[in-house]
Amino acid sequence: MHGWDSYLAIGDSFTEGLSDTLPDGSYRGWADRLAELLGEDNPRFRYANLALRGKMLREILDEQLPIALEVKPDLVTLCAGGNDVILPGSDVDELAGLFEEGVRSLLAAGIDVLIFTGPDPKVSPVVRLVRSKVAIYNSNLHAIAERHGVRIVDLWSMSVLSDRRAWSDDRLHFTAEGHRRIALRTAEVLGLPVKADWREPWPTVPEDNWMALRRRDLEWTREHLIPWIRRQLRGESMGDGLTPKRPELAPLISRQGNRWRPLGEPAACPEPRSPQG
């Protein structure tokens, strides 16, 4: 039996769960999956997820962190800064300093903290251009974890995430299988028993030819890269107008009509929504 009766997740689209999509169009993600593991055989367990797609580090610290400090859950996962790192001109050392302030605040409140490095972006045709920045930011995060004695999930070292099947069509978010493996790895870091191995090799599939790869790159540019550039130029965010999916600590069930449904069970009336917000 672990010592956490409550868990609150803060962050951006990674923690919100894009693109681990349920039939009703909502998102599950590694944090929901982890909460299910944490809540097994614990009727007292409660979970909240404040993460929103498109959020920058400062927004997460200003908007989500104060809520965590107010409700004081037993455990907080913090993954933030990825959206900042990929922007031209961002200072990763300055970002790491802000991140460390957030970690200090949580620890001072008596909250257990778990943080994440960024994954290796070499599989993304554009984000890999800032691969060195991600590596420097990750080094800072490892140093923060060592200085403060907090747990860290090293996504960069998860070689299974280098397979394209771990990534959604936008090449920025993980598939359901990618999220499942990350949840297993996170549970392992927390010392939770798991029934599967995140290291399991992917099934062998035929290699795509050059033309197929080129076609997918062109489709990705049209459907994902150009809209992302437009949003950045307009100062818009994917999370504008959205609210957290689980804003309060609550049992692993959610309200639907006149009944409660378990976390992860699809809603009865699908209302799909686009991951672009």
pLDDT tens-digit map of 125-137: 777 889 999 999 9
Q: How much of the chain, in percent, has pLDDT values that exceed 70?
A: 78
> Is 50 exceeded by the pLDDT of residue 144?
yes
| Bridge partner residues of 11 (DSSP) | 79
The CA–CA distances, whole Å, from 268 to 40, 162, 242, 256, 259 equal: 24, 35, 22, 8, 11
At 139, the amino acid letter reads: S
Q: How much of the chain, in percent, has pLDDT values that exceed 90?
A: 68
| Bridge partner residues of 115 (DSSP) | 78, 152
How far is residue 101's CA from residue 107's CA, in Å, rounded to a whole number? 10
For range 73-97, the mean pLDDT: 95
For range 246-269, the mean pLDDT: 62
What's the start-to-end Cα distance of the chain, in Å? 39
Domain 6-201+244-262 has CATH 3.40.50.1110: yes
For range 139-160, the mean pLDDT: 98
The reported pLDDT for the residue numbered 255 is 43
Look at the block and give the residue holding tokens 């257990």.
112
Task: Report the mean per-residue pLDDT for the chain.
Answer: 86
Helix axes 29-38, 176-190, angle to 10 degrees: 40
> Is 80 exceeded by the pLDDT of residue 21?
yes
φ/ψ of residue 12, rounded to 5: -115, -150
- Say which residues have a Cβ less than 8 Å from residue 168's Cβ, sequence separation at least 6: 18, 19, 174, 175, 275
> Is 80 exceeded by the pLDDT of residue 14?
yes
| 126 or 159, greater pLDDT | 159
- What residue segments make up the domains of the chain, in order of their start? 6-201+244-262
For range 56-78, the mean pLDDT: 97
> Is 80 exceeded by the pLDDT of residue 141?
yes
The reported pLDDT for the residue numbered 227 is 72
pLDDT in tens, 161-207: 999 899 988 878 999 999 999 999 999 999 999 999 999 999 987 66
* 201: its two tokens: 């090799």
* 37: its two tokens: 């593991």
φ/ψ of residue 48, rounded to 5: -135, 150
Characterize 219-249 residue by residue with b for buried, 16 or more Cβ atoms within 10 angstroms of its Cβ, and e for exposed: ebeeebbeeeeebeeeeebbbeeeebbbeeb
The reported pLDDT for the residue numbered 277 is 35
The reported pLDDT for the residue numbered 129 is 86
Residue 271's pLDDT band, with cuts at 50, 70 and 90, is: very low
Indicate the pTM of the whole model.
0.86
Which H/E stretch holds residue 197?
none
* 71: its two tokens: 């409700």
**In 3-state terms, what secondary structure has residue 77?**
strand
How far is residue 238's CA from residue 231's CA, in Å, rounded to a whole number? 8
How far is residue 31's CA from residue 15's CA, in Å, rounded to a whole number? 6
